Amino acid sequence: MDERTGDSAGVSGESVEESAEEGGAAGGAAGGSAGGAAGAAGAAGGGVDALTTQVGARDAGGPQDATGAEEAGDPPEAGGDAPPPPDLPAQRTDRRRRELLDAAERVVRREGPQASMNAIAAEAGISKPILYRHFGDKNGLYEALAERHTTGLLAALRGALALPLERRDLVEAVLGTYLAAIEAQPQIYRFLTHPDPANGLPQGPLAPLLERIAGELALAIREQVDLGADTELLAEAWGHGITGMVLAAGDHWLRERSQPRERMVRALADLLWGRLAAAAPRPRAAR
């Protein structure tokens, strides 16, 4: 059932709420600017919380509460710096979106794939139509969450691929980066990869991310491994094949937890190692 059902009855009330939010009413900001999980991408190889690298990014000093903005005519304190210039409309919109995404993440961590738009709106202290106004619809919110987390994961994988390691160690570093990332935020991973059909979210929405990961792996293979005349074709095939294999294996491992992450990394590396071990290295280009 579409979560928008029944929202039309409150259209006039929502227009008042939207005006209050933009004008700085406390009801629009309550709960929306609170918290947000902090995280940063670490070194590759097993301890990376890559899915949280984009979580909790903030302007210095944190977001200004909608009811606490300084009046334009207030003079600066004696000996102090002049007050910062007021936010531009685009800056306010971006800041508000970040706050709403933080609220969505808090709900997803608690509820996993069952997280609903109603729960996210309540966490942010707003109504669903206001949430839709910022993201278009539930798919827009879902895609914004996916973009936030996949950007961090890709950055961590690039960092792992660039490490000056022997080939076998490099393979394990990349595998460990991915498994550590999904292990660090399992509920968010499940929400993005296995959304609840009852919420009307699309299935298989991570296809763009998987294509980007496959591209990064293919590029690394082309640059670092000499596969002869077929290097270009094999690099593309291996990049996509490795991505699909690790996605399926990681999904199963996160669900069953049948072995420690380090052992799972070695098992996958063993499977990949045959032709990779036999291929000659390419000389690294000077940087």
Is the pLDDT reported for residue 94 higher than 80?
A: yes
146-190 pLDDT, tens digit per residue, is 888 888 899 999 999 999 999 999 999 999 999 999 999 999 999
* pLDDT value for 285: 61
Is the pLDDT reported for residue 77 higher than 90?
A: no
* pLDDT value for 197: 76
Which residue from 165, 142, 124, 118 is spatially nearest to 33, judged by alpha carbons?
124
* pLDDT value for 159: 95
Tokens found for residue 52? 């949280």
Which residue from 24, 30, 99 is spatially nearest to 69, judged by alpha carbons?
24
13-27 pLDDT, tens digit per residue, is 444 444 444 444 333
For 230-249, b where at least 16 C-beta lie within 10 A, e where not — what string?
ebeebbbebbbebbeebbeb
Higher pLDDT, 130 or 29: 130
Q: What is the mean pLDDT of residues 191-200?
A: 79
220-247 pLDDT, tens digit per residue, is 999 999 989 999 999 999 999 999 999 9
* pLDDT value for 50: 39
